[in-house]
Amino acid sequence: MQTTASLKPNYGNWVSKKFIVVPGPLCLVFLGLAFLSPYWAILAGLFGLICVYFLLSYYRFSPAGGDVQAKIVGLILERLEWDGMGQALDIGCGNGALTLRLAKKYPAARVTGIDFWGKNWDYSQQVCERNASLAGVVGRTVFKKASASALPFADGSFDLAVSNLTFHEVSDTADKREVLREALRVVRPGGKFAFQDLFLVEAIYGKPDELVSLVKSWGICEVEFVRTCDEAFIPALLKLPFMVGRIGILYGEK
């Protein structure tokens, strides 16, 4: 029998459960050793704090805690000036959160989601396909295992490309600007794009205005950048640099 929960899409959580299940028990172990030395008590406190921080973050990202994750994904959709005709690509689709919202927003579009689905994340192609079925967009969505570092598509294959919080994760490309360039390669001339990532982390992307100039130097005609980390709905708790405190969207037309 299907439960109500099994009828709901599962878009996963950007806080991996290992950040909670590893420090939590370690905190308890160190607490048990605290009678031996105060250092164990300090370690217990540290791991307890880490566990509580990620537990609260997990909650705030989840539907029960205000769905901050879905709202951040929605910021990409707000930036799109697309007529919805043709093929769209979501790079690093996770469990299909953005892919499926695109398919629902643009009923004439066909949307492809690609992801590496590595073991660092609790996402899978199977869950994407189940979510597509629950969203009623099965015939117009395709999910494929592929790497963002070498997309298995010819130049200019898509009318729109989007991506959310993926480029900085691509481990086999040292310079993440090359991942951005690869994403733009598969957009047709005149096609649209909107990518959200840690674009305000200068160690990864350099200064935002320099990044915009670089992208224009690749022959991209319209490029805009917007800071999204300042959005009022994002709680202070999540505004740390390694969470979503340095995010922005690069968008425009090729």
Ligand X SMILES: C[S@@+](CC[C@H](N)C(=O)[O-])C[C@H]1O[C@@H](n2cnc3c(N)ncnc32)[C@H](O)[C@@H]1O
Looking at the Cβ atoms of 87 and 196, the one nearer to ligand X is 196
- The size of the interface with ligand X (CB under 6 A), counted in residues, is 22
Q: How far is the CB of 147 from ligand X (least distance, A)?
A: 4
Q: How far is the CB of 146 from ligand X (least distance, A)?
A: 7
CA proximity to 226, closest of 82, 78, 102: 78
- Asked whether the beta carbons of 254 and 184 are under 8 A apart, the reply is yes
Element (H, E) at 100: helix 97-105
Could you give the 3-state DSSP secondary structure of residue 181?
A: helix
Report the residue from 58, 123, 199, 205 that binds ligand X according to the rule CB under 6 A: 123
Q: How far is the CB of 171 from ligand X (least distance, A)?
A: 6
Question: Is position 165 an interface residue for ligand X (rule: CB under 6 A)?
Answer: yes
Sheet strand arrangement including 222-227: 141-145, 109-115, 86-91, 158-164, 187-197, 248-253, 222-227
Element (H, E) at 89: strand 86-91
Amino acid at 18: K
CA proximity to 158, closest of 190, 128, 126: 190
Q: How far is the CB of 92 from ligand X (least distance, A)?
A: 3
Report the residue from 122, 129, 169, 231 that binds ligand X according to the rule CB under 6 A: 169
Using CB under 6 A as the binding rule, the residues of this chain from 74 to 113 that contact ligand X are 92-94, 97-98
Report the residue from 148, 161, 229, 244 that binds ligand X according to the rule CB under 6 A: 148
| Binding site residues, ligand X, CB under 6 A | 11, 14, 73, 92-94, 97-98, 115-118, 121, 123, 147-149, 164-166, 169-170
